[in-house]
Amino acid sequence: MKLFQGKSKSIVLLALFLVVFIIPWKTQALLVPQVYLTKLDITENSFEPGEQIEGNVILWNYEESVMSDLVLSFQLLGQEIEGVFTQVINEQKDQKAFSIPASEILTKPFIYSLPSNLPKGNFAFRVQLITGRGEEMGWIDKILNIGGEGEFLVLDNYWIIKDEENLSPGGGVDYQPGEIPQISFDITNNTDFTILAFPEVTTFRRNVGGEVIETQEGKDVLLSSGRKKTIKTNLPQLNESGTYLSEVQLYLKDGQKPVSNSIFFRWVIPGDDDARILFVSTDKESYQVGEEAKVSVQFTGPAHLYIDESEVSQGEFEIQLYDNQGNIIGEKKAEIELKSGQALINVPIESDVDDLRIEARIIKEGNILDQYGFQVGLPNGEEAIKDRGVVSFLKSNKWLIGALIIILITMLIYLKTKKKKILKAMALLAMIGSGVLFLSTSVLAATEVTGGYCDTTIIFNTPLPSQTYSLGDVINFTGKFRVTSCGDGLFHNKIEFFITADENIPLETDNCCGDCCGALSETYGGCLQNRRWCNEVKTLPLQSNVYKLGTIYPQDVHSGARPYWVEYNNSFYIPEDLGFSGPVRFYVQYSGTHWKSHWHWNVTYQKGDIGDVPIAKISCDASGCDSSGCVGYTDCPFILLNDSASAYKSSWDILDWGTSPDLSCDYPTALCDFTPQLLPPGDYVVTLSVETATGLSDETSKNFSVLQEIAADFQCSLDNVVWQDCEDVKFNPQKAVYFSDQSSSSDPVGGNYITERRWTFENGDPVQILGNETNPLTRFQSQGPKEVVLSITDNQGRTVQKIHQLSVIIPDIQWGEVSPIGWIRRFLANISTQFRNIFS
């Protein structure tokens, strides 16, 4: 059969080209552009109110496009609930925008000034990346200690009110044009001060940091120490459809400095003429005439609670590119549906441009619904960028590499076969294969599997892409979920975390119509019936290559630092008996409801690697024996530490110790430390064997010694011949008293020996003898109890001592009849003793 015939060949070629190069995978949710904050450097951890925090943050743009119009946002967060900080103490935004080229890294310095009014305690200092219009991306936290105790008010228990009902402030409550939303909140003064302040309400279009719609001041509040007050006030009266966020914070009446945490209220004015540009990026910073700029756009549609597919209206997306003189050097329009989505628009370049500016607009029936403009590229004087290396090269040069692969494969096939039909077929396959390999986007970054039928937005913050872990390591998951276009209320929330093998795993359908697939809602209690798509929630199946790390049930959205986000921050151990290793996927799976209308779900994963090569390693901890190195003492246990990597099964064996049974352990854990107990003095060899879940093994050996426990002791004598316990001998003043070292290590035993002896005699002559004397003498100068101390030190640096209490007295005189001859003998003996004492 012929491979291609007639026109069918062209059709097949065109279809394959469209599949490989043009047709994108349909996504149901928006994955925020992945620019990761990988490291935060701050020299100190403790600060006082009013001080400046200086540091650097490292940003990694993992996208294949230039991320522009970026700014740093700084938050001081408190009141932690299950790892998530729920109270915004202070927030500031850097005013200088910057860009990061595709696949590269930027080190960004910053200065953040702490407010002068702060409570005392530990807080999270968050550095977050946002766009110039407030759309949030990745973040990184560091815990700081603030020595406050100044004036500060706490705002909590806050609600948005409609029809006299308290509703979640993050739920995106609907209001009609011209309707005035009402809110309530509590103010508590926990300080020792009486505080006079006023509330300020700032309303933003969509997000903090974006367009400010209105700022208004409320009535003064006077609150004495220990008092609490409930405030009711209004949000601004607006007529234009859209999604709004109002921030409330109190300021001191005297000096107008912030004196409270911030609280937030999400509300919506529905309407068909509402759309919003979220993120815009280009593939390069500069272009030459004849090229095409690839402009990536994410956008959202009208702020409806629910829009049927048949009700979606049509609009137009317009892109205009300008040079630094304000001349249009490229423009393109594209038809879009006014709902949440993303698009890639190719804009022909009509003249060379280096300093590129982009203007993007959403247009409906000639009316501009939203527009967004910014400068592309780095401003002059911006920090140098470090290249990412191989990953950056592959991404930046994928077209060239793909073309080279096609040429090489084609030439090899031609040289081997010289058959034109086979050559054409194989060349086509080579083109398709290289297209799949090099033209797909975000190969290693977070990948969305399904986002359900609703426009959910996810920030996949950590783990970072392509990180390597070992069995037993801790892995941290952080991120956020929200509804993209309409009101952002999310309830009955559940988030599950998985490790799977790096392969496509078909999802299962979970019926959430009868049972609640998430937590009980503070707002709605148990699950309600008749939600849309409740019988179509997709989940990962539990099977041999899928391991569930854990499940959390976040509270309703009003409990977060941003009350319209469902944020998570959870750490898990990678199990040592996982059963698989090598390339893996770290999944985050979300499900929850949006008000009373429908069910949301999202399944996204980040690729990583779990090391599969076991490395056996032993270290020693003999600190309890006052010893360095792998040396212990009898009766003093020390620990052989298992520092192995990528092992889940460990076994110990001690060689050259002829006892039975041998000491060993065999646990399904990589933390199998071993404590040799009561070993006789001697030298030993220990062998540690480790094994992975896949059967790979390794072993290592280490020498260690057990030394005799040293003990200081000595005996006493009056004649240096007969030795007794010192407490049993009574000594005369000025008489020679002899001592003999009886320490346990007087001779080398088990490899250790005494290197120094220190004798101390109370009121003796001499008082102290230092060196290595084993048989000293002294004379006590007075009677009474005397203390003698022997301190010994061995070759391991270990020092012990022994103390004896001696009795020094004048003996009682014994009277009796003595013959003249006996008296003469005693007199002569006494003289002889005196001479011996003098000359000795």
Task: Read off the pLDDT of residues 182-213 as tens digits, 9 standing for 90 and up.
Answer: 999 999 999 999 999 999 999 998 888 888 99
Q: Which residues pair with 641 in a beta bridge?
A: 619
pLDDT at position 134 over 50: yes
pLDDT at position 428 over 60: no
Residue 574 confidence (pLDDT): 92
Q: Which residues pair with 483 in a beta bridge?
A: 456
Tell which residue, 328, 391, 352, has the closest CA to residue 105. 391
Residue 827 confidence (pLDDT): 63
pLDDT tens digits, one per residue of 659-687: 443 455 554 444 577 777 667 777 888 88
CA-to-CA dists, residue 713 to 47, 313, 632, 716, angstroms? 56, 98, 22, 11
Residue 420 confidence (pLDDT): 53
State the pLDDT confidence band at 308, using cuts at 50, 70 and 90: low
Span 261-266, average pLDDT:
92
Whole-angstrom distance, CA of residue 99 vs CA of residue 106: 9
Whole-angstrom distance, CA of residue 807 vs CA of residue 784: 6
Q: Regarding the domain with residue range 153-269, which homologous superfamily does it belong to in the CATH classification?
A: abc- transporter (atp binding component) like domain (2.70.50.60)
Q: Which residues pair with 231 in a beta bridge?
A: 185
Residue 645 confidence (pLDDT): 66
Residue 155 confidence (pLDDT): 94
Residue 20 confidence (pLDDT): 35
Whole-angstrom distance, CA of residue 31 vs CA of residue 465: 14
Q: At what angle do helices 7-17 and 420-439 cross, to 10 degrees?
A: 20
State the pLDDT confidence band at 6, using cuts at 50, 70 and 90: very low
Tell which residue, 232, 248, 85, has the closest CA to residue 154. 248
Edge-to-edge strands of the sheet including 153-162? Answer: 165-167, 153-162, 182-189, 228-234
State the pLDDT confidence band at 353, using cuts at 50, 70 and 90: very high
Tell which residue, 527, 460, 664, has the closest CA to residue 34. 460
User: Of 119-133, 282-296, 420-434, 690-704, which gets the smallest average pLDDT?
Assistant: 420-434
Residue 378 confidence (pLDDT): 60
Q: Which residue stretches of 386-524 are H helix?
A: 390-396, 398-417, 420-439
pLDDT tens digits, one per residue of 52-111: 999 999 999 999 899 999 999 999 999 888 888 889 999 999 988 999 999 899 999 999
CA angle 244, 250, 253 (to 5 degrees): 135
Report the percent of the chain where pLDDT is more than 70. Answer: 78
Instruction: Please indicate whether residue 753 or residue 65 has the higher confidence score (pLDDT).
Output: 65
Whole-angstrom distance, CA of residue 176 vs CA of residue 628: 76
Residue 111 confidence (pLDDT): 95
Instruction: Please indicate whether residue 802 or residue 437 has the higher confidence score (pLDDT).
Output: 802
Residues 6+ apart with CB under 8 A from 14: none
103, two tokens: 């696949």
Phi, psi of 628 (to 5 degrees): -100, 155
Whole-angstrom distance, CA of residue 706 vs CA of residue 693: 34
Q: Which residues pair with 816 in a beta bridge?
A: none
CA–centroid distance for 682 within its chain: 46
Instruction: Please indicate whether residue 748 or residue 759 has the higher confidence score (pLDDT).
Output: 759
pTM > 0.75: no
Whole-angstrom distance, CA of residue 230 vs CA of residue 187: 6
Residue 100 confidence (pLDDT): 94
Is omega for the bond preceding 661 within 30 degrees of 0, making it cis?
yes
Whole-angstrom distance, CA of residue 433 vs CA of residue 411: 16
Q: Topology of 714-826 in CATH?
A: Immunoglobulin-like (2.60.40)
Q: Which residues pair with 787 in a beta bridge?
A: 805
Q: Which CATH number fits domain 447-610: 1.10.3430, 3.20.20, 3.30.70, 2.60.40?
A: 2.60.40
CA-to-CA dists, residue 363 to 301, 315, 545, angstroms? 12, 6, 48
pLDDT at position 13 over 90: no
State the pLDDT confidence band at 265, using cuts at 50, 70 and 90: very high
CA–centroid distance for 302 within its chain: 36
State the pLDDT confidence band at 689, using cuts at 50, 70 and 90: confident
Report the percent of the chain where pLDDT is more than 90. Answer: 41
CATH code at 618-707: 2.60.40.10
Task: Fill in the DSSP letter of residue 311.
Answer: G
DSSP string, 563-578: TT-EEEEEEEEPPTT-
Span 336-355, average pLDDT:
90
Whole-angstrom distance, CA of residue 480 vs CA of residue 464: 15
Strands (E), 22-168: 30-31, 35-42, 46-47, 52-61, 67-81, 84-93, 98-100, 105-113, 121-131, 136-146, 153-162, 165-167
Residue 171 confidence (pLDDT): 80
pLDDT tens digits, one per residue of 585-602: 999 999 988 776 788 889
pLDDT at position 3 over 50: no
Instruction: Please indicate whether residue 819 or residue 647 has the higher confidence score (pLDDT).
Output: 647
Residue 387 confidence (pLDDT): 44
How crowded is residue 558: how many other Cβ atoms within 10 Å of its Cβ? 23
Count of CA atoms in the C-beta half-sphere (13 A) of 183 = 27
Segments of the chain assigned to CATH 2.70.50.60: 153-269
Q: What is the CA radius of gyration of the chain?
A: 40
pLDDT averaged over the chain?
Answer: 81
Tell which residue, 567, 67, 1, 528, has the closest CA to residue 298. 67
Whole-angstrom distance, CA of residue 750 vs CA of residue 166: 79
Give the DSSP H or E segment for 469.
strand 467-469
Q: Are 615 and 646 in contact (CB under 8 A)?
A: yes
68, two tokens: 């522009």
Bridge-based pairing state of the strands 697-707 and 631-633? parallel
pLDDT tens digits, one per residue of 395-420: 444 445 555 555 555 555 555 555 55
State the pLDDT confidence band at 436, using cuts at 50, 70 and 90: very low
State the pLDDT confidence band at 777, using cuts at 50, 70 and 90: very high
pLDDT tens digits, one per residue of 513-560: 777 788 878 777 777 656 778 888 899 998 888 999 999 999 887 767
Q: Are 638 and 627 in contact (CB under 8 A)?
A: yes
At which residue do the structure tokens 């991120």 appear?
A: 479
pLDDT at position 5 over 50: no
Q: How many residues in total does the chain contain?
A: 840
User: Of 8-22, 195-209, 303-317, 357-371, which gets the smallest average pLDDT?
Assistant: 8-22
Residue 246 confidence (pLDDT): 93
Segments of the chain assigned to CATH 2.60.40.10: 618-707, 714-826
Span 761-776, average pLDDT:
91
pLDDT at position 12 over 80: no
DSSP string, 83-117: TEEEEEEEEEE----EEE-TT-EEEEEEEEEPPSS
Q: CB under 8 Å, gap of 24 or more: what pairs does 256-260 form?
A: 257/115, 257/116, 257/117, 258/90, 258/115, 258/117, 259/117, 259/151, 259/152, 259/153, 259/195, 259/197, 260/152, 260/153, 260/154, 260/155, 260/187, 260/197
User: Of 77-81, 214-218, 287-291, 299-303, which gets the smallest average pLDDT?
Assistant: 299-303
296, two tokens: 């990536």
